[in-house]
Structure 1
Amino acid sequence: MGNFFNEYLKTTDERLLSKWTQYFDIYTRELTRFRARPISFLEIGVFKGGSIPMWKAFFAEDARLCFVDIDPDCAALAVPGTKVEIGNQADPAFLADLAAQHGPFDVILDDGSHVCAHQVASFENLWPHLADGGLYMVEDCHTSYWPGFGGGYRNEASWIEYAKRLTDRMHSWYTDQDTLFPFDPIAKELHSVRFYDSITVLEKRVKAEPPATVYAQNGKVTLSRRALEIRGRKSAFAGKDGT
């Protein structure tokens, strides 16, 4: 576990905090860089409220911390300096209003219902409200392998399969099959899709220009995007490596 979280667990109060043990190392790796400034943070899913004081202690003093749950009783779990909004994480109207009030967000953490359709709906509605350089994290991705949550192994409706397709869409700059696999505009924003044990992390970095190949020789540096325009490419090693 990361040092902060390891120590924090010893200070918890009556509010139940429930996380998989591997999450704390992932939090440390992915979120430490956000601690130095007052970011805007959104967590979907309050449950017993144990994560609210944890994130309050983790992030900078002036960070804007918002939490969402469908259970009206969770409204009473807010602590000073935080907001708890009540609504359905799959409701586009609610999410639009949430973003208008509290966004754009630097970090969004989905620890809500864990239902795959809800995870997808939240992502599609909130990704446009994630700031450049921000992270969108989905927890409890193991439910993608549980039919009762709309998942199941290789079920196209699961969050994991959706995230795999996001990886494809991120690479659509390089398509060589325009009809089958056309360019997807999300490639202009999606920097990376990182899969951890039961957590998916998607990082947004807005790209002003398409990717380029850099060539450097004798101190001369040039950029080229020709590789994005060619169709019917073949390996330069074709016929030389046994293929």
Structure 2
Amino acid sequence: MSQMQLSKKTEGIFHLVNKYIYRKDLVKLSSLYDNAKWGETHRFAQHYQKHFSPLRLKKLNILEIGVGGYDNPKAGGESLRMWKQYFPKSMIYGIDYVDKKHFEEDRIKIFQGDQSDEYFLKKVVSEIGDIHIVIDDGSSINEHRIKTFNTLFPALKEGGIYAEENIHISYWPSLGSKWSELAEKSAFLANCVNVGGSLDLNVSNTIMAMYKRLADGLNYQEFLNPGYCPSYFDKNIVSIHFYHNQVIVYKGNNNEGSNIIENNTIRPYILEELGVESLEDLGLEFPKSSQ
């Protein structure tokens, strides 16, 4: 065995030992798998450590969208292996548009399909069964991510966590036909050119816009809007955590009432304190839409 081969073997053993030593520390563990994704640029691991550490030793079904490596069927897979190491009793599932079954192994299973295809996602859910954590690091197209959330969040178990990475695409508008032609030659360029974000922070069709609305929904019982009909997400999201380029959502029963509002109208004793007999006496103009 040459000196170079011996050095590589020693380095490989050292790498494996470190993965075992740091198996409880997601920040250090992540740097051993894919530093390009988990290094200083993204800073995701520190937040996942905070939210996932209480669940580390539980038996979970974890689904990550986006295996990595773009259109190369033998590139990527680092995140799946990292989650397998961090969650020693859990089953790790992946979804990718490209066939990435090359990375399947014990406790890792990969589905090939389009994350914007509701039928495909529901088929995945039916095969997995209970899903406890979803991590979306897939398509860079806002519309795809929104469709995925609308399909998979309802499939989460009570107490489940939905994590969204790379929120920056909310702020990137799609480019013109000149760049679209270039994007046909590269999956990476396609991810940059066709995202469907906007320079306008007040638009309604981006990932971030969706999460801003969902944040309002946490307080739906405080809405002064008679006849308001709470959405599924109003009633089943209990917290949303915003970080740079990342959002983490907890599923639960959002039924905590209000001291002042009941059924989206002011409680009678408050009206009495205001010196009026009905809500109409306040002269307010309520939203025409219930949503």
Count of residue correspondences: 219
Higher share in strand: 1
Q: What is the CA–CA distance in structure 2 between the aligned matches of 1:16 and 1:69, rounded to whole Å?
A: 21
Aligned to 1:120: 146
1:10 and 1:150, CA in 2 relative to 1: closer, same or farther beyond 3 A? closer
Q: Taking structure 1 as reference, are residues 50 and 136 closer, same or farther at Cα in structure 2, changes over 3 Å only?
A: same
Please list, as runs of the form range in 1=range in 2, the aligned pairs for 1:71-110 lying within 5 A after superposition.
Answer: 71-72=98-99, 74-110=100-136
1:129-164 superposed Cα distances (whole Å, 9 cap, x missing partner): 101111001000011101121111323110000111
Deviation at 1:31, TM superposition (A): 0.9
Any runs of at least 4 consecutive aligned residues in structure 1 with deviations exceeding 4 A, and if so which?
232-235
The equivalent of 1:29 in structure 2 is 50
1:85 Cα deviation from its structure 2 partner: 0.5
Equivalent residue number for residue 174 of structure 1: 222
Which of the numbers 248, 262, 267 marks the counterpart of 1:228? 262
- Which consecutive residues of structure 1, in runs of 5 or more, have no partner in the other structure? 214-224, 239-243
Identify if the C-alpha distance between structure 1 residues 212 and 173 changes in structure 2 by more than 3 Å, giving closer, same or farther.
closer
Q: Distance in 2 between matches of 1:142 and 1:39?
A: 29
How much is the aligned-residue C-alpha RMSD, in angstroms? Answer: 2.7
Is 1:67 the counterpart of 2:94? The answer is yes
Counterpart of 2:211 (choices 160, 163, 177) is 163
Q: Distance in 1 between matches of 2:27 and 2:215?
A: 32
Q: State the match for 1:220 in structure 2.
A: none
- Tell me the residue number matched to 1:42: 63
Report the Cα distance in structure 2 between the residues aligned to 1:83 and 1:140, rounded to whole angstroms. 24
Q: 1:18 aligns with which of 21, 28, 37?
A: 37
Structure with higher Rg: it is 2
Decide which of 241, 250, 263 is 1:203's aligned counterpart.
Answer: 250
Note the residue ranges of structure 2 that are not aligned, 5 or more in a row: 1-22, 69-75, 175-194, 275-291
The whole-number CA distance in structure 2 between the counterparts of 1:185 and 1:196 is 24
| 1:176-195 paired onto structure 2 within 5 Å | 176-178=224-226, 182-195=229-242
**1:230/1:182 Cα in 2 relative to 1: closer, same or farther (>3 Å)?**
closer
SS of the counterpart of 2:261? helix
Does the CA-based 8 Å contact 1:175-1:183 persist in structure 2?
no
Deviations 1:108-146 (A, max 9, x none): 000001211111000001111101111001000011101
Secondary structure, aligned partner of 1:32: helix
Q: Which has the higher helix share?
A: 2
Letter matched to residue 198 of structure 1: N
Once residues 137 and 39 of structure 1 are traced to their aligned partners in structure 2, the CA distance between those partners, rounded to angstroms, is: 15
Q: Distance in 1 between matches of 2:154 and 2:112?
A: 21
Which amino acid in structure 2 is aligned with residue 170 of structure 1?
L
Deviation at 1:174? 2.2
Instruction: Tell me the percent identity.
Output: 23
Shift of 1:232: 5.0
